[in-house]
Amino acid sequence: MDIIGQFPLFYFPEYGSAWMMGITGTIHILFSHTSVGAAMLFAFLAHKAYKENRSDYYPYMKKYGMFLLIFSYVLGSITGPGIWNTATAASPRGISALIHNFVWVWATEWVFFIYEVIGVFVLVYFIDRIDRKTHLKLTYTFALASVGTLALIIGIISFMMWPGTQAFYATGSASDAFFGINTFPHMFLRIGFMIMMSGVIGLVISSSMRKENEELSNELSRKMGYISIIGGFITLFFFIWYMGTLPENAHAVFAFSKDAIIQNRIILTLVFVAYFAIAIIKPRWINPVIASVMIGVILISGLWSGEKLRESMRKPYVAGQYIYSNQIISRDVPGKNIKSELPIIAEKGLLHLNPFVPARLKTITDENRKDAGELLAKMACSNCHSLEKTGVFRPLKDRLTGMDKEGIKSILYAMGEGAFSYMPTLKLPETEYDAIAEYFASLHY
Ligand code: HEC
């Protein structure tokens, strides 16, 4: 029997599975980036506290550590597996590619992560029970482990955008997959962001300590302001470099919303520079409520839009520039013994090759054509477009408006080429094109 290695289709109506990924991912990034940023901040503060004999920093670190325990380590640990679950449902072959290429990198990352989780408990619990030098050393190793988790994950995530080196396709080697040209700008962009986040969260803690010690609270708020500004500028600098290391298809997608994105970044930069400047000049004006609201602003206008951008710039691929978002393998990867599925799909059709298509839809007839078309549309388009008329995710109702069957077919033929290169190539037997076009035409978008 001819078969391609597909998984059951996970169909998420109206919003699309990409939104589910985006929501889980954005929340997780807030927690995880905060934890790495805070680890670097702790190393800095513990160093200062030890060298300058500032024992008054310890209660701050303890309070921050307690906050971090819940905020990053409890919530982050819940949303981390959440990402695995969502991604496995939304893009099983994307996840499979990441596991098959990087299994030892993941394993190493988990070792660092376990160290981090134990480390945060140890640091909080023992902060006033062990001597300061030991505490300082522990803080350094905690920071190293945290940055280690980041560095490893970023290599993997950068591979999703593209391997960055052509050698990977021939060798299939993990290091060719890992050290792409955009891995390092991506890594430093995130490090900058983490530094900034550590300051933004730090402002919640420092401003909440005003009653206990006003002078210290102001001093720490000022410090957090400086740290955040430095982190923010590192982020901006590496963001610009990062954009220069993206593959061509990413720029094609970026071009759609370039002006809006640049405008958004400029406004965000101004708002946050003003906020950090206030923290430095008038720390008294910052209170825990304002500081918490600013975390929300970063979550929604910074992280959500940034992650959405990275996801959409990968189009038409989900990983390594050989797996399309709709789970079809589009090129040979000799180093991994992977073959493009486009030729066999063009010859035999998706319904025939996908083992999870119900028997009644395997062969298209006059009776089942629309149902077969609906299933094909879900398989081929729903990863990137809502099909429902009320759908919100790049909805097809706005893109196929008023088109008849022939018009729709001409788009299907052209996908993956020229002006439509941001979409996967869709080469199907004529009967399947017919079924999809008939289904869409029947919806009267
Ligand atoms: C890998 C993701 C992806 C898949 C799968 C995909 N598209 Fe698209 N599609 C896009 C992107 C990105 C755009 C361009 C941005 C936009 O229109 O918002 C787009 C735009 C379109 C447009 C508007 C084109 C124009 O420029 O006028 C149509 C029509 C369309 N898609 C139809 C389809 C159909 C039908 C399917 C399934 C057979 C499909 N797409 C599958 C990503 C995808």
Q: Is 211 helix (H, G, I), strand (E, B) or coil?
A: coil
> What pLDDT is recorded for position 405?
95
Tell me the CATH number of domain 16-324, given options 1.20.1630, 3.30.70, 1.10.10, 3.10.450: 1.20.1630
Q: In the prediction, which pLDDT does 295 show? A: 95
Q: Which of 21, 384, 445 for mutating ligand 1's site (highest number of atoms within 8 Å of CB)?
A: 384
Q: What is the pLDDT of residues 378-436, one digit of tens each?
A: 999 999 999 999 999 999 999 999 999 999 999 999 999 888 989 999 999 999 999 99
CA of 123 to the centre of ligand 1 (A): 50
Residue 233 is encoded by which pair of tokens? Answer: 């500028």
pLDDT at 255 over 80: yes
Residue 14 CA to ligand 1 centre (angstroms): 16
* Most confident of the ranges 259-263, 300-304, 397-401: 397-401
Q: Provide mean pLDDT across the span 220-224.
A: 97
Percent of the chain with pLDDT over 70: 100
For residues 188 and 250, give the distance between their C-alpha atoms in angstroms, rounded to a whole number: 20
pLDDT digits (tens, 9 = 90+) for 230-244: 999 999 999 999 999
Separation of first and last alpha carbons in the chain: 38
Q: Where are the domains of the chain?
A: 16-324, 341-443
- 72-76 own/partner pairs: CB under 8 Å, 24+ apart: 72/31, 72/32, 72/34, 72/35, 72/38, 72/120, 73/35, 73/117, 73/120, 75/27, 75/31, 76/28, 76/31, 76/32, 76/35
Mutate to test the pocket of ligand 1, among 256, 323, 381, 398 (most ligand atoms within 8 A of CB): 381
Of 108-112, 246-250, 275-279, least confident by mean pLDDT is 246-250
CA-to-CA distance for 285 and 199, rounded, in angstroms?
16
The token pair at 141 is 């190793």
Q: Look at residue 19 in the predicted model and tell me its pLDDT.
A: 86
Report pTM.
0.91
Model confidence at 251, pLDDT cuts 50, 70, 90, reads confident
Q: What is the pLDDT of residue 317?
A: 94
Cα of 396 vs centre of ligand 1, distance in Å, is: 8
**What's the rounded mean pLDDT across residues 13-26?**
89
At residue 268, does pLDDT exceed 80? yes
Alpha helices in 13-91 (DSSP H): 16-51, 57-68, 75-90
Instruction: Count the residues in the chain.
Output: 445
Structure confidence at residue 311 as a pLDDT band (50, 70, 90): confident
Query: Would you state the pLDDT for residue 239?
Result: 92
pLDDT of residue 155 exceeding 90: yes
Ligand 1 atom nearest residue 324's Cα: 1
Q: What is the pLDDT of residue 1?
A: 66
Q: What is the mean pLDDT of residues 28-34?
A: 91
Estimate the crossing angle of helix 16-51 against helix 214-243, to 10 degrees.
130
Where do runs of H (alpha helix) occur along 69-131?
75-90, 92-126
pLDDT for residue 374 is more than 80:
yes
pLDDT band at 284 (very low <50, low <70, confident <90, very high): very high
Ligand 1: centre distance to CA 2 (Å): 29
pLDDT per residue over 92-149, tens digit each? 999 999 999 999 999 999 999 999 999 999 999 999 899 999 999 999 999 999 999 9
Residue with the two structure tokens 């405008």: 263
Q: Ligand 1 centre and the CA of 428: distance in Å?
A: 17
**What is the C-alpha to C-alpha distance for residues 12 and 388, in angstroms, rounded to an integer?**
11
Tell me the pLDDT of the chain averaged across its residues: 94
Pocket of ligand 1 (CB under 6 A): 253, 256, 315-316, 324-326, 380-381, 383-385, 394, 396, 399-400, 411-412, 422-424, 426
The letter for the amino acid at 1 is: M
- Report the pLDDT value the prediction gives residue 17, as an integer from 0 to 100: 87
